[in-house]
Structure 1
Amino acid sequence: MNRERGASSLALVLLLLVLGSLMLQGLNQAQRRQVAMVNDETLALRDTARAHSALQWGKILSWQIAMSVQCRANSDGARVCLRQLNGDAILLMAESNGIQLWQSGTRQGNGIVFSPHGWSDFCPLQEKTLCQMP
């Protein structure tokens, strides 16, 4: 009789160990998913900040008014392009790893005046091909 009690106690302990191991594996998988989501969000925020930075950098650059499209890249990989539209309208475009921002403006004399309403995260033009980075 004593042997049977020992075996059942051992079986109960082993069952608790298996259940605990399964719970820990589930928690580990959930934590890995959360870490991956946080990493993805961190990268998206970094790329958005780089695109905003490139857009502001593009506003202070001196652009050649005679060219229809011109682009420049900065040291952290973001690009900024200036596209001349019909008339005196211009469009400043910035991109960093797929995140794009736009700012409209007009040519005035030898300079450019950008819209006081700020940037846009969607294409402000009806013709979407004009908003694509060359």
Structure 2
Amino acid sequence: MKRWCQQGNGALLMVMLLAASGLLLMTGMQRQLDSALSLTHDERRYWQTRVLAESSLQWGLGQEWLMGNRSDEQCLGYAAEGLQVCLRQVPGEHYMLLRGEGHLPRSSSVMVLYQRVVPIEPDGETSPLKPITGGWLDFCPERQEAICGG
């Protein structure tokens, strides 16, 4: 009768196979997590620029704008908060176009939002603005994009 000597090769091979498959699964999971983190970062940057653009519009509504020369574009900025807003008369229309921009520091992403507005005191030298109902847009509302600036 022959005696069997177990040397453990089968068990060692099985342990190595399990370790290799575990490593492959963990590598795939890491790639998924990296992709999700990148997507989350992009979405966060999008919302930050959007909030800045909306804040620029709201801030611009409360500012005093020159009403005498409406043909030129007027721009105001509040550097401490990163707000930039510009106002331009739309030729042949009774309303004006307010453009709010959102810029993130150390980033090339910019978001631009538009609001159709009218002056509260059109006959005064300066006036705050009043938004036209339904006049908020996230794209250039004019056929001539040069009117929208940018």
Q: TM-score, length-normalised on structure 2?
A: 0.80
- For 1:109, the equivalent position in structure 2 comes to 123
Deviation per CA, 1:46-93: give whole Å up to 9, x if none.
110110011000000001123421111222223100112325431100
Give distance in 1, aligned partners of 2:132 and 2:19. Answer: 65
In structure 2, distance between residues paired with 1:34 and 1:28: 10
Counterpart amino acid of residue 109 in structure 1: D
Deviation of 1:114 (Å):
2.6
Q: Where in structure 2 are the equivalents of 1:5-16 lying within 5 Å?
A: 6-16=8-18
- Please list every run of 5 or more consecutive structure 2 residues that lacks an aligned counterpart in the other structure: 104-109
Q: Which moved further from structure 2: 37-46 or 79-88? A: 79-88
**Count of aligned positions:** 132
Q: How does 1:1-134 map to 2 (within 5 A)?
A: 1-4=4-7, 6-67=8-69, 68-74=72-78, 75-86=80-91, 88-97=94-103, 98-107=110-119, 108-110=122-124, 111=127, 112-133=129-150
Counterpart secondary structure, 2:96: strand
User: What CA deviation, in whole Å up to 9, does each residue of 1:34-55 have, x standing for no partner?
Assistant: 0110111011011101100110
Structure with more helix by fraction: 1
Structure of higher RCO (CA pairs closer than 8 Å, 6+ residues apart)? 2
Are the equivalent residues in 1 in contact too, given 2:117–2:130 (CA < 8 A)?
Answer: yes
Task: Spell out, residue by residue over 1:84-104, the C-alpha distance to the aligned partner (whole angstroms, 9 max, x if none).
Answer: 232543110001132111111
Q: Which runs of 5+ in 1 are unaligned?
A: none
The 10-residue stretch of structure 1 (95-104 or 51-60) with the greater mean CA deviation from structure 2: 95-104
